[in-house]
A and B are shown apart, each in its own frame.
Chain A
């Protein structure tokens, strides 16, 4: 096994839901190709504008407009900049520092015990190959549908070996080998994560036992209920009632549909709900006055989100795969527009 997340799941340390949540966060920490070009100061702005236009006009990935050397630098930069899964699990309070340290040690011991003693030369090359495949897996996880595996396969051995060597350290980190909890502020660690993980497992059992399908759990009734909560929040804003007391109902409903969406592998659907979950979690920690102000400006984003989620749900119900659904420009644009609105709402919570 070369995947720390899989190791944690198999040892019942985290649930699949927690792992997916961590992967979403991890994905968010990866700079885009455009960001990476700018951060590395790789291409003059004028030339960059030309390349961006070319990629948009010809509908090709920006990375493929670059020369081989720059492309490698960007890929390495993105890998190195990406947070480790262990770091994300800690930051999201999904695992406390002591548990991470203990599991990291166990994982290291397990991977070490799988190595063949007395074959150092062989071991090195095996490690390199192992890390290369782990890199591919990590990139697939990070880039999802946009991942172009052909860039890293045996047809391009030079590129693969470069990635393996340059990103060795960060990939080890991605796998949890080098995770050092001392790097974090341990004073903030709490001991409630394990019980939360157990709770999520309970919910998974409930959802799968009851119906199991996204389209059944996220029914028209559930959809209308969430829209009703939005209406109640709007009314609370107008009448100066306590808005936070409706956010708990919203959190509950979204948590249920996110749980079943993650089981159904509806990743993009899940991502939208996850942003709401994070946002409400942050709002729970804010004063009512702020929550009021936030709701006044941004609660209509809930309606936008629910429309997008319902559209995805309807298409999934019609038998379409999520990746295919997002090939349709209309839904893709609605989704991007919704993410932009959510980003603005989230920024206010973070900065306000």
Chain B
């Protein structure tokens, strides 16, 4: 599975990339929403892990653009640093299918993916 990790922190990308790699998945890095659009056009993406706060184009701005312009059909998991009901609701209304709080362990990431892909 190709997973686009959209986060301005390279450390987060490296952490997630390692987790995905251990399970045989490939991580692709985008530094912000605009960069994500470019990466989506150049790669086949199966899942997007999207940070909330980023320069150039934030996570919610990307979600809104994706909702209006159907940039990618891949499920989107929102990554944030805290649990906030209004963020969860906003992410949901803009089309994100899951929500994960950073930092997270590999177990939590793959539990979230199990929920996204409805795996037993």
Footprint of B on A, CB under 8 Å? 192, 195-196, 199-200, 202-203, 206, 221, 225, 228-229, 232, 236, 239, 241-242, 244-249, 251-252, 255-256, 277, 280-281, 284
**B93 in contact (CB, < 8 A):** yes
Q: How far is the CA of A195 from the CA of B94 in the complex (A)?
A: 13
Whether A195 pairs with B88 at a CB distance below 8 angstroms is no
Of residues 69 to 117 in B, which have CB atoms within 8 Å of A's CB atoms? Answer: 82-86, 88-90, 92-94, 98-101, 104-105, 107-108, 111-112, 114-115
Whether A245 pairs with B93 at a CB distance below 8 angstroms is no
Q: How far is the CA of A229 from the CA of B115 in the complex (A)?
A: 8
Whether B115 pairs with A199 at a CB distance below 8 angstroms is no
Q: How far is the CA of A249 from the CA of B107 in the complex (A)?
A: 15
Could you tell me how many residues of chain B have their Cβ less than 8 Å away from some Cβ of chain A?
Answer: 24
**B118 in contact (CB, < 8 A):** yes
Among the listed A199, A225, A236, which residue makes an inter-chain contact with B89, where contact means beta carbons less than 8 Å apart? A199
A-B CB proximity, top 6 nearest: A202-B93, A284-B83, A248-B99, A199-B89, A203-B93, A245-B101
Footprint of A on B, CB under 8 Å? 82-86, 88-90, 92-94, 98-101, 104-105, 107-108, 111-112, 114-115, 118
Whether B104 pairs with A284 at a CB distance below 8 angstroms is no
Whether B98 pairs with A249 at a CB distance below 8 angstroms is yes
Query: Known contacts A196-B86, A245-B101: does B115 contact A228 (CB below 8 Å)?
Result: yes
| Extra contacts besides A242-B101, A246-B111 (18): CB < 8 Å | A196-B86, A199-B90, A206-B93, A221-B118, A225-B115, A228-B114, A236-B108, A239-B107, A244-B83, A244-B101, A245-B83, A245-B108, A249-B98, A255-B88, A256-B92, A277-B85, A284-B83, A284-B85
